[in-house]
Amino acid sequence: MVLAIDIGNSNVVLALHDGLVWSQVWRLPTLTEPDSPMYYEKRLTDILLEAGIIPGPAPQVIISSVVPQLTAPFLHISEHLFGKPALKVAPPIYPKLKLKIDRPNEIGTDLLANAVAAHYLFQQDCIVVDFGTALTFTTVSADGHILGVAIAPGLKTAIASLFHKTAQLPEVPLTLPTTPIGKNTEHAIQSGILIGYVGLVRHMLAEIRREVGPQYIAIATGGLSAVLTPLQEDFHQIDPMLTLEGLRIIAETQEL
């Protein structure tokens, strides 16, 4: 049994893998206030008690974090709840992975997990597009070499930026409009960002393939991976659980 904890900029995702499937998934907001560790310890305790995980055999816990302020608190909470250290995704554990990582101290652990999942599950040249707080493109060759990453603001980040940086533009829902010509302010923002991001993703995939080869398949993941419906045919697979799958695979490689 594996408990994966993926600490991202917008959400903390906890997921339990029972050896066959992801049986339970929980999503909490990412908070970095001084009292956040107490909040998370209480919430995790309640969640795990309700799920019947504690008391009981301790799962293998693996933690990926791109929020440094929360890494140590979650490691402490995990050891306090289960009585044993969690596995932290970090460069010291990378040698057991079947990947070549040119700059192990720079790549985000979420992107590493995406690359691991893509390589182990598909065994071919891949571009992983992660629709999260940031929109990322991670290119992985069939022999397990992470060739590089491209990063752009995510959909929610782009909309929030307009809302916070302008005096009269509202924050709008992530609903794809039927026409690119906005008839009102909300429609105009949705058109510019959502339809615009369809073009951004397609152009990035085309440019990456122009450099590395047309055989690279595209895999989509992230909480917003299903929002841009016109892109569905551009992806070999859309898997919102890909990052968690990568964490599960990393946990298993460390047991070998």
User: Which listed residue (6, 35, 110, 143) is catalytic?
Assistant: 110
Report how far residue 73's alpha carbon sits from residue 36's, in angstroms, rounded to the nearest whole number: 9
What's the Cα-to-Cα distance from 13 to each of 25, 38, 112, rounded to whole Å? Answer: 7, 17, 16
Contacts 24+ apart (CB under 8 A), 39-42: 40/12, 40/70, 40/73, 40/74, 40/77, 41/73, 41/77, 41/80, 41/81
Taking the CA atoms of the chain, what radius of gyration do you get in angstroms?
19
Residues 6+ apart with CB under 8 A from 107: 101, 146, 149
Q: Is 46 a catalytic residue?
A: no
Annotated catalytic residues are 110
